[in-house]
Amino acid sequence: MPHFPTSAWLASLPVSLLALLALLVITYLIGVRQRRHVVIDAAWGIGFVVVSTAAFLQSGSDGDTGRRILLLVLTAVWGLRLGGYLAWRMRDGHEDPRYDDLLAPGGARGSRQRNLFAIRRVYLPQAIVLFLVSMVQQVGMFETGPLGWIAWIGVAVWAVGIVFEALGDRQLAQFRADPSRRGTILDTGVWAWTRHPNYFGDSAAWWGLFLVTAGSWPGVLTVISPLLMTWALVARTGKALTEQRMSGRPGHADYVARTSGFVPLPPKRR
């Protein structure tokens, strides 16, 4: 079994955490200035890039070079694409209705009480989840075993996820840009195979990253990362909230009846 540099890995955790907290503090200050805390959505993917970079720099003489570079590149492509897309989508300057609902008990938008409330309800929970999920990168960067066939299967799974996520986001952006489609349901392209291609793609990308790490001990223990990410996407912040918001839209019930809820499947006949 390949040796794992436990002491070096443990010493790296506080540094990675501080790098993540620095990003979230900057994001919080931007949110306060813009009077909207949806900006943390754009920082979500970038946060994983920051943590991965910190772990990469600290694991220089300890981890397998091939795995370190692969994890950093795959995470950066996923995180920067997602962060860039969400930042572009926020260009209207408005708060997301999800955050209005979540932060309503904190008071009026822009108030000091609401901003402090956002730390507890938004920033700290996301910091904890992001740090835990990023164990795939934080452990993988220090693994000494060479890349094997499991890692390359992971790259293929990651690629499938990126394709679904990017296509889903692109098709949704084109759909929203068409005024004639306002109030209707997007049910073409990858959206005909799954009601949430972007969330499925996100989940698949993380299972792929996990497989890159799981190819060497103790990477298999980081299975909590894709499980936690998938659970959040399905039951908490992704699919569940979107379905709730879309449930009253005309044609949604029919769309649900013929289209897979998460994993892409051939659409049922109308």
Q: Quick check: pTM over 0.85? A: yes
- In angstroms, the CA 224 to CA 139 distance is 12
Q: Total structural domains in the chain?
A: 2
Looking at 144, 165, 190, the residue that finishes a domain is 144
Burial string for 9-34 (b: 16+ CB within 10 Å, else e) reads beebbeebbebbeebbeebbeebbee
CA angle 119–29–24, rounded 5-degree value: 60
Query: Are 23 and 63 in the same domain?
Result: yes
- In angstroms, the CA 202 to CA 206 distance is 7
Query: Are 28 and 161 in the same domain?
Result: no
Q: For residue range 56-79, list pLDDT tens digits in order.
A: 999 988 899 999 999 999 999 999
Q: Please give the pLDDT value at position 1.
A: 63
Query: Are 135 and 184 in the same domain?
Result: no
Query: Are 255 and 229 in the same domain?
Result: yes
Q: Please give the pLDDT value at position 270.
A: 61
CA angle 140–142–145, rounded 5-degree value: 80
Query: Are 164 and 181 in the same domain?
Result: yes
Query: Are 13 and 99 in the same domain?
Result: yes
Q: For residue range 152-179, list pLDDT tens digits in order.
A: 999 999 999 999 999 999 999 998 888 8
Query: Are 122 and 158 in the same domain?
Result: no
- Residue 56: which domain range? 1-144
CB 118 within 8 A of CB 31: yes
Query: Are 52 and 97 in the same domain?
Result: yes
Query: Are 108 and 139 in the same domain?
Result: yes
Query: Are 58 and 76 in the same domain?
Result: yes
Query: Are 262 and 165 in the same domain?
Result: yes
Looking at 123, 144, 165, the residue that finishes a domain is 144
Mean pLDDT, each 10-residue run in order, the chain (270 residues): 88 96 95 89 94 95 93 97 90 77 78 86 91 96 93 97 94 88 85 92 96 92 94 80 75 84 82
- In angstroms, the CA 43 to CA 261 distance is 27
| CA dihedral of 182, 170, 247, 227, whole degrees rounded to 10 | -170
Looking at 113, 144, 175, the residue that finishes a domain is 144
